[in-house]
Amino acid sequence: MNNYSRERLIREDYDYMEVLRKSLSKDQLEKLLRIKDPELHRWIADIILYAKPSRIYLITSEEDFEYIRKAALRNKEEIPTRYPNHTVHFDGPRDLARDRKNTRILLPGGEKIPFINTYDRAKGLMEVKELFKDIMRGKEMYIGFYCFGPKNSEFTLHAVQVTDSAYVAHNENILYRVCYDEFVEKAPNMFYARFLHSAGERDENGWSKNIDKRRIYIDLQDYTVYSVNTQYGGNTIGLKKLMFRFCIYKGYLEGWLCEHMFITGIKGPGDRITYFTGAFPAGCGKTSTAFMSDTIVGDDLAIIKPVNGIPHAVNPEIGMFGIIDGVNPEDDPVLYKLLTSPENEIIFSNILLTEDGEPWWNGRPESPKPGINYAGKWWPGKKDENGKEIKPSHPNARFTVSLRTLPNLDPRVDDPNGVPVGAMLFGGRDPDTWVPVEEAYNWVHGIITKAAALESEKTAAILEKAGVRELNPFAILDFLPISIGKFIKLHLDFQEKVDKTPKIFSVNYFLKDEHGNYIADKVDKKVWLKWMELRVHGEVEALETPTGLIPLYQDLVKLFNKYLDKEYTEERYEKEFTTRIPEHLAKIERVWKIYEQIPDTPPILFQELRQQKQRLKKAMEKWGTRVSPFKLDRK
């Protein structure tokens, strides 16, 4: 990539070295100049002139971490707790989740992509640059150099984060590998993304004041993101969901996959490990599935490329920015222990900090004591201006912690070649259609009917009404910088690049019975995982339904007994694995209608859906609207 063509904040020529010499202390300047990239130097000088930070600090190794931790406390972006390694951050009541409306992909000429929030590039750049004028006055600015992936890996991308938030820098120090040495080694002949962030003016609570001027503008052409007047991690942590857009885009241009997926290892017979990746919209069981696995490589993102003909996955992150709501000692023993261990470095966001300095979230067994939370002072029974009770901790409250704190961290987490992918899972919040686990007939069937047709009820991770069902293909819709049609085609074509494709499964933990109660227990996912592991190796049979392949009753009985010490009744099995035909047909209608509006949808999508519909209709003629698994043939 030619770094010299990058977008500038200041067009005119000026002596940028002079600006750097004046604004950076001697040691900071030395650090910057060791990266031999005039375009980078010039960009930093532009920001200095433009946003006017009063001091500058570079994060170039783990030795800088302590400085950032202290800065976050000094800036009052984080509050200490009774545990020295645990801090709390509050985003403010209007800044608690990703802002879909104001997160826009900037495209030249105002090009539009269906279902994606795009905006005219020239207009967007002008608007957002204006917002950065003088915005860092009186503040310290942090510059971090990170890898998006393991060191010395063909999978890895690079990024520079510039921010006036020590909280953002602190998160990145935990979530990503500091990679200054690779910049020193490779620049200027390297690709890197640029993230410029400012929390903007903050009020006495530390919340960003100008929320109406919150913008997250993603300049696809220049691999640069401008994020301003916001603090919530999904809007601000450059290497998280902002880098992810660039990763998807680069993958699209180069023919590999960047996914919103965890990567975990499942133990099978003889202690073999089979690696799974899994895509779930936020708040739909992704983290809990990862923790139910035997080893964890990653909990949120995956870069997948062929290595010797086999798809391999790398986790670009080395930490978790996870949802804490509902994490309790019974259902999530490992995560709960990790989050309550004083020795782990943890940033909690938008939980309740009780007056005795204890971080409290929904899921802690004890009742919440008064303290401060995302809306200010909190006491039991506190109501908002509409008379609605304010929850002690927010449903999208998060924790940031290093993966290295995990007892079950996979030993291959830093492997520059990643881990081989045996299976891909797709799951959403679906009350009435998908069975708890089902295998696709083949790659294409899976990509279309499981991944592209993934639907889910909205959750608290976005600033919209929870509970409404929406199509969320690959659980990635919020992050796509290209049309979903192109993204599907990329996956269909990926088949040609590998000798063996992973098996594709759908999972659904949210199926309800006729009384509206969830049928499965939270821990049952263990059994579904173990069944899928056996399927990857062809070691159990399956029943053929009109929509895929499901477990045999007797296999589940054995697995429930072995892994959960639980009885699994025929009645439960029938309830869980009955094909609900009208619901499936309605789903196909919904999905069809959406893809009809997307001009570059691959035609094979409609073919697959049509075939699925025909199979369902045939089954309905034979058996009626409900097909019990006991009626089906073995595959």
- Please list the active-site residues: 284
Out of 98, 250, 305, 580, which residue is the one contacting ligand SPV (CB under 6 A)? 98
Q: What CA–CA distance (Å, rounded) separates 120 from 128?
A: 12
Rg (CA), the chain: 25
User: Does residue 352 contact residue 393 with C-beta atoms inside 8 Å?
Assistant: yes
SS3 137: strand
216 binds ligand SPV (CB under 6 A): no
Applying CB under 6 A, the span of 232-240, 423-431, 524-532, 537-545 interacting with ligand SPV comes to 232-240
Out of 124, 144, 233, 485, which residue is the one contacting ligand SPV (CB under 6 A)? 233
234 binds ligand SPV (CB under 6 A): yes
240 binds ligand SPV (CB under 6 A): yes
> Measured from the CB of residue 300, what is the shortest distance to Mn ion in angstroms?
4
Identify what 403 binds: ligand SPV, Mn ion, none; CB under 5 to 8 Å per kind. Answer: none
555 binds ligand SPV (CB under 6 A): no
In sequence order, what are the beta bridge partners of 80?
A: 87
Q: What CA–CA distance (Å, rounded) separates 140 from 348?
A: 23
- For residue 4, which amino acid is it? Y
Q: Which CB atom, from 42 or from 240, has the smaller least distance to ligand SPV?
A: 240
Q: What CA–CA distance (Å, rounded) separates 557 from 567?
A: 7
Q: What CA–CA distance (Å, rounded) separates 14 from 29?
A: 18
Identify what 233 binds: ligand SPV, Mn ion, none; CB under 5 to 8 Å per kind. Answer: ligand SPV
> Measured from the CB of residue 338, what is the shortest distance to ligand SPV in angstroms?
18
User: Does residue 365 contact residue 420 with C-beta atoms inside 8 Å?
Assistant: no
259 binds Mn ion (CB under 5 A): no
Interface with ligand SPV in residues 460-489 (CB under 6 A): 461
Identify what 321 binds: ligand SPV, Mn ion, none; CB under 5 to 8 Å per kind. Answer: ligand SPV
Q: Which CB atom, from 251 or from 368, has the smaller least distance to ligand SPV?
A: 251
Q: Cβ neighbours of residue 272 under 8 Å, at least 6 residues apart?
A: 537
Interface with ligand SPV in residues 295-334 (CB under 6 A): 300, 321
In sequence order, what are the beta bridge partners of 5?
A: none
Out of 37, 219, 294, 300, which residue is the one contacting Mn ion (CB under 5 A)? 300
SS3 266: strand
245 binds ligand SPV (CB under 6 A): no
241 binds ligand SPV (CB under 6 A): yes
Measure the CA angle with vertex 199, ends 193 and 201; round to 5°. Answer: 145
Length of the chain: 635
Q: What is the DSSP pairing of strand 346-349 with strand 86-89?
A: parallel
Which residue, chain included where needed, has tokens 């002690």? 392
**Closest CA relative to residue 191, chosen from 226, 235, 215, 224:** 224
Which residue is at the shortest CB distance from ligand SPV?
234
Hey, what are 337's tokens? 């222990």
Q: Which CB atom, from 77 or from 259, has the smaller least distance to ligand SPV?
A: 259
> Measured from the CB of residue 237, what is the shortest distance to Mn ion in angstroms?
11
| Interface residues toward ligand SPV, by CB under 6 A | 98, 233-234, 240-241, 282, 300, 321, 461
| Interface residues toward Mn ion, by CB under 5 A | 300
